[in-house]
Amino acid sequence: MGRPATGSPRWDAAKGMWTARITLPNGERKPAPLPGIPKCTAVPMGSPASCPCASCVQARRVAKLLSDTARDNGMVPEGTGESWNEWHPRYLAVHKRLGKTTNDMKGPAAKWMGKRLGATPMASMTRAQIVAVRDAMTAAVLAGEMSAKRALNIWSDVVVAPLSRAFTDDDPRYSSVRVGPASANPTANVKPPVGKEQLDEDRRERQPLYPHEFVRVVTCETIPVALRRVYAVATYLYLRPQELYALRWADVDWAAREVRIRRKLNPRTGKERPGAKSDAGVREVPIHPHLMPLLEAMHKEAGKQDSERLVPRSRRLTDKLASGTREALTLAKVARAELVDGTPDLMPFDFRSWRTTGCTWLAMLGTDSYVIAMQAGHKSPDTTWGSYIKRGPDLRQRYGEPFPELPAELLETDPGFGSVSVFGPELPPDFRGKWSGARDSNPRHPAWEAGTLPTELAPQSEYVS
């Protein structure tokens, strides 16, 4: 039997690439090209067997991989070079060192790339293979296995971004995981996955609430104070739902009068992640003067515990956020039918629309689009104008002054629906939901005493604990 395979890399100046001498089990030695690995950065060029530079380390790793494959199969594989499964962990390590989150990438990368292209050499990856991954995602969306938005996020974070950094000419931050030039990028000009839901969202725009309609909601006594507070905070800070529910009192800079967005939280699962939706999402949002008294009152009620969440997560406030928000509009007698039902061009008003409302109000005040994009965490003002801002300063006289003063009742502790009892385990056992049960099941709330809560909504409450 021949000697064990070793695989010794060396730089072939004539070919302008690394090569390796692979020893097969029968003792035969064959050359194997290692394309896509940069030349050694040591000056003068050191020995590949001991040089610590990233290029030599990568060449040794790939050569060892080929040696192991040759030993198992008795031949040098036709496709040589570092595979996706070898390359991607190194990419994640670089990504993490740059301060970027990788927590949401490993699972989707294994599912969509690892299972399909895991053994494929990075330098040999083709456009057709990437298109096949895209088509598989589209099929999953159409089958209802995941949302179109989720597919687009995975496509961007797990497929396009890593391969664009593997095949680049001008991003020195990822030079240690560079595979080839930008011209060889297999994701170039490949359209993302598209499903019915995404097509529907593309056709329909989000709509804001006008200031005079917002006043009707926050002054409506049949809507619990805690809910009205959440709606006010979501509007005046124009945060994404996952940013709003991740906020802690420690993120509020009282002296600078701003909140710092540094993490996100899934409102339904309670799972928290560092960072924001994008680099632009990590930001500071100014606190409007009319919101400051409410935040101060809520902070006082929370016992000034900076580790506590600004809006504590509760099933009653996170289940069915969209329809619950529209129910509040109905209770406040906000009469525009398109807000509740939507139109062929407009999406129904949902919880995320409070963010749309705040961004639109900034535009009504004449705020520069670049400032709005920065405060809202958009990558580009094009996103601001394309998805959020549909109204301008000309509407202020017709629809009211943006960011109106909040009603004093929101600043007072409500014994039935205060910031403690509505969110935490202190809820009484017989309290089953916002509108559920007989009137005497929660006699503390004045709306029950006055008989103003609509009984037709009682048994089917979506806020049942």
Which tens digit of pLDDT belongs to each residue from 414-434? Answer: 544 333 333 333 333 333 333
Q: For residues 106 and 88, give the distance between their C-alpha atoms in angstroms, rounded to a whole number.
A: 9
pLDDT at position 74 = 57
CA Rg value for the chain? 28
The residues, any chain, with a CB within 8 Å of residue 445's CB and separated by 6 or more, are 224, 414, 416, 417
Provide the token pair at 256.
Answer: 């600078």
Q: For residues 75 and 22, give the distance between their C-alpha atoms in angstroms, rounded to a whole number.
A: 9
The residues, any chain, with a CB within 8 Å of residue 368's CB and separated by 6 or more, are none
CB 194 within 8 A of CB 201: no
pLDDT at position 458 = 31
User: Model's pTM, two decimal places?
Assistant: 0.52
C-alpha distances in Å from residue 164, one per residue of 132, 158, 407 = 18, 11, 51
Q: Can you name the residues that pair with 21 across neighbouring β-strands? A: 8, 31
Region of residue 153 (phi > 0: left; psi between -120 and 50: alpha; otherwise: beta): alpha
CB 193 within 8 A of CB 131: no
pLDDT at position 250 = 93
pLDDT at position 7 = 59
Low-confidence ranges of the chain (pLDDT < 50): 1-5, 77-79, 318, 415-465
Q: For residues 124 and 348, give the distance between their C-alpha atoms in angstroms, rounded to a whole number.
A: 46
pLDDT at position 69 = 66
The residues, any chain, with a CB within 8 Å of residue 429's CB and separated by 6 or more, are none
304 class by beta-carbon count within 10 Å (0-12 exposed, 13-18 middle, 19+ buried) = exposed
